[in-house]
Structure 1
Amino acid sequence: MATTVHDETVDGDLSGAFGSPTGLTFNLGANTVIGGVGTNGNTGATNGSDADYFTFTLGTGQSLDAIVVDSYTSDTNAGDLAFSAYVAGNAFAGQGGGNIDASALFNNTSSNIFPTILPLGEGDHAFWIQQTASGNYFYEITFNVVPEPATAGLLMAGTALAAFGRRRQRLG
């Protein structure tokens, strides 16, 4: 079950400033961000319409293995593509191609976006979502945080050793 980390209709608008994204807290499991971009009167996009910028930190032993578009709709039903960008760190230096590490387009038929940069490991990660077509667009995206494979393997090995030790004590 996904945890809603930020919902703009409840928690307020995500930052429209590329240099100071909204800080979010992600935990292990599914972390959902719900927002809206477009010509809704907020700012941040290169054309003056709304863009959303947010950042989160993955702790030691954590990894991001999927970024899934749960829904994407518009008030104009135009079906346009949304733009998203990623940068390692806690902010974007600018809005040009040289200021991002990866970008992806998505819409309501997209599933796992950014497969070429996943998994992402511990550290700061910033995302930017924007729609340049006219109208307002609403998205729901889930970021799946899991234990890093090495950490998960160590955890399973430790659990198995503990179970084996308990079994030996009962038998001995």
Structure 2
Amino acid sequence: MDSGFALRRAAQTDAVFLGDMLVEAANWRAGGMRPRHEVLMSPDHRRYLAGWKRAADEGLVATGADGVPVGAAWYRMLPQDAPGLGFVGVAVPELILGVHPLWRARGVGRALLRGLIELAGTQGHARISLSVERDNFARNLYRAEGFAVVAEGLARDTMVRRTA
């Protein structure tokens, strides 16, 4: 069966599209749309994209049959003095995942997640982390793919998975 999409490594030239996917990830809730500039300029979110692609940054982009990007997953290593929302340690990359709404529930997010976990393992990372709002439907995907809650916040949790 043809899935209708393919994965490729993210490049420096994908920065604008990663920004689009960061906005999608932040605006997952129906009716909760924040403008692109507001998401990308917020301190909570800009750290995941500013200066892309640094040496330790890695990612995957899902493209439709026409080659147009439809989703992305990437990770960053963040410092202890400027941690991300899912920070668990300086040696643990933090994952970000976004899929265009028309491509959700078609296996794109799962394929990106699995691919990025594998990529992180080949890059020598034993674990990978993320932050997810407690009522986000993606939480079920993360649990199904082996992520476990390691820290609970007021409305969001930090989850971690071993890469091997």
Q: Report if TM-score (shorter chain) is over 0.5.
A: no
Which has the larger share of helix?
A: 2
Greater strand percent: which structure?
Answer: 1
Normalising by structure 2, we get a TM-score of 0.34
